[in-house]
Amino acid sequence: MNKLRSIIMFIVLLVLNSVLSPALPLTSFLSSAYAQNSSPLTAKSLRLGAIEEHTRVVVEFTGEVDYKLFTLSTPYRAVIDLPETKWDIPDTIQDKGLVSGVRFGSFKPGQGRIVVDLRGPVNVHKHFILPPSVAIENYRLVIDFEPATIATFRQLKPSVSETQTASITVPKVQSLPVPSPTPQYSAPTGEFTPKPRPRKTRKIVVVDPGHGGVDPGAMGARSREKDIVLAFSKELVRQLKATRRYDVYLTRSTDIYIPLRQRVQIARNRKADLFISIHADAIKKKNIRGLSVYTLSEKASDREAAALARKENQSDIIAGVDFGDQLPEVANILIDLAQRDTKNASVKFAESLISSARGKTLLLDRTHRFAGFRVLKAPDVPSVLVELGFITNRTDEKQLTSNKWRRRVATGMVDAIDNFFRLK
């Protein structure tokens, strides 16, 4: 009986394989064969196929691939780590069978990643590479998923090197030397030593374009949040630098994923006086539009703000990373005091930001809201998160991708920053 089952499964997979491997003309094989070795690895297509209860993912690459596959639970995902990869695949991939979504992009310099969202507990039945054939010009990575239950789910563990990838050793994102972190918060003893800040002439501002790489953020009709916020952040940094009043740093300047905790750490390592995280929102109601500003609060100001924070806090999950706790919890009254000062300063800056943005762009009603955003949790750096607008609204999306609008709103932010530091 068992033998019969495996014969049937073999035939099923054989059929599946031929379904997923459309023949290509021989000429295209010959013309591209020469270019393969000179160019970096490119992912050419990603297809899903479902037959009976199995779901197969096939990714075509221009060269031989050295990949690492592992799975995660809560939520269930499969992660494929790759060498540096160029992506020649459309952004939206139709869900199928056991797969509810697929994302891909840069995970850190020199590393690409594909994250496959699974509908529930799913096991990897098998995975392998098919070399090019006469009919197929590319290498194919094939992964077969089979349904499981919570009880039968077998987590496919990353090897030692992958454990490092998924741990908190996070990518170095800037070529500039980063000052070594001053561990003011030491977990075991709970000591907190407020250090006198070195005297400096210029205020330090860290601008944080949200998402990036394997985490695209919200998706509009013709744009992605990660691109919109990077372009805006670069414009803001350009204008801030032009004033010669600030030292300005970006948490990322390319299309790369940065863990939320790392963004907070960059601000702290830079001894930032201000941290601004830039985002763009998405919502089902397509008529909703306008800019909004968020500051940290464990108690959300309203249900929408709470939902937004949940969504933005998903970034590490979306990128296929499992982090444990965030900064170690330290019970110390001095931290509470430092945090209260930081919170008050954050609120003050948020208000300044809103009054400068008024008249420059449409504001969402109750423009200043509160929620538990992870990226705002530096205890000693005033931090705000700006949702520039709604990528799901046609007018907002048009503005978000316009140079003119970007320049105008960034100028408003520079005014707000000047007012906050009273530098004018």
Which residues in this chain contact Zn ion in the complex, by CB under 5 A? 210, 217, 279, 312
Q: Which is nearer to Zn ion, 158 or 217 (CB)?
A: 217
Q: Which is nearer to Zn ion, 118 or 228 (CB)?
A: 228
| Residue with Cβ nearer Zn ion (312 or 397) | 312
Phi/psi of residue 219, nearest 5 degrees: -115, 125
Q: Write down the least CB distance from residue 226 to Zn ion, Å.
A: 8
Name the phi and psi angles at 53, rounded to 5.
-95, 0
* Minimal distance, residue 217 CB to Zn ion, in Å: 5
Cβ of residue 210: shortest distance to Zn ion, in angstroms? Answer: 4
Closer residue to Zn ion in complex, CB, 363/375:
375
In sequence order, what are the residues at sequence separation of 6 or more whose Cβ sits closer than 8 angstroms to the Cβ of residue 13? Answer: 51, 54, 56, 144
Tokens, residue 213: 């790489």
Q: How far apart are CA 345 and CA 376, in angstroms?
A: 13
What is the DSSP track for 333-397?
HHHHHHHHHHHHHHHHHHHHHHHHHBTTB-EEEEEEEEE--GGG--TTS-EEEEEEEETTSHHHH
Residue 4: C-alpha distances to residues 9, 18, 54 (Å) = 9, 21, 17
Minimum Å gap between C-beta 311 and Zn ion is 7
CA 166 to chain centre: 14
Residue sitting closest to Zn ion (CB): 279
Element (H, E) at 12: helix 2-19
φ and ψ of 361, to 5 deg: -155, 165
Q: Which amino acid is at 369?
A: R
Whichever of 46 and 276 has its CB closer to Zn ion, that residue is 276
Closest CA to 314 of 402, 374, 250, 231: 374
**Considering the complex, what minimum distance in angstroms separates the CB of residue 31 from Zn ion?**
41
126/144 Cα distance (integer angstroms): 5
| Shortest reach from residue 253's CB to Zn ion, in Å | 17
Which residue's CB is nearer to Zn ion, number 147 or number 217?
Answer: 217
Closest CB to Zn ion among residues 140, 289:
289
Q: Give min distance, CB of 236 to Zn ion, in A.
A: 16
Q: How far is the CB of 37 from Zn ion (least distance, A)?
A: 39
> 239: Cβ–Cβ under 8 A, 6 or more apart, which residues?
407, 410, 411, 414
Our measurement of the distance from residue 101's CA atom to the centroid of its chain's CA atoms, rounded to an integer in Å, reads: 15
Q: Tell me how far, at minimum, the Cβ of 279 lies from Zn ion, in Å.
A: 3
Nearer to Zn ion, 43 or 391 (CB): 391
Name which of 49 and 209 has its Cβ closer to Zn ion.
209
List phi, psi (to 5°) of 403: -60, -40
Assigned token pair, 339: 């945090």
